[in-house]
Amino acid sequence: MKGNSKGCRAWKNYFKHVHTLVYVMDYADKRRWSMDKYYLESLLNNSDMKNLPILVSANKCDDVAQESVV
C-alpha cells in the first residue's frame, strides 16, 4: 500500500486481516527516514498488529553512493 499521507490513513482499514507486516522504506531518501520511523512505530503500537511477524526492507540501498568513513 502507498506510504503517502493519504495511503497511510487507509492502512487501519486492513489491520484486522493482516497476518504479516512487510515495511519497505526508500533507503536512498534520507529525508524520509524520520517519517518512516514514525509510521513503523505507529504500526507496531497498534493493538491489531501485536505479535505479527515483521520484515523491514531497505529498498534502493544499491543506489546510495558509498560514503567514506574518516
Q: Rounded CA gap, 58 and 40, in Å?
A: 13
Of 42 and 5, the structure prediction assigns the larger pLDDT to 42
Of 17 and 6, the structure prediction assigns the larger pLDDT to 17
pTM metric for this prediction: 0.64
In the annotated binding site for GTP, the residues are: 59-62
Asked if 48 and 18 touch (Cβ cutoff 8 Å), the reply is yes
Q: Rounded CA gap, 27 and 19, in Å?
A: 25
**pLDDT tens for residues 20-49?**
888 888 777 778 888 888 888 888 888 878
Asked if 56 and 23 touch (Cβ cutoff 8 Å), the reply is yes
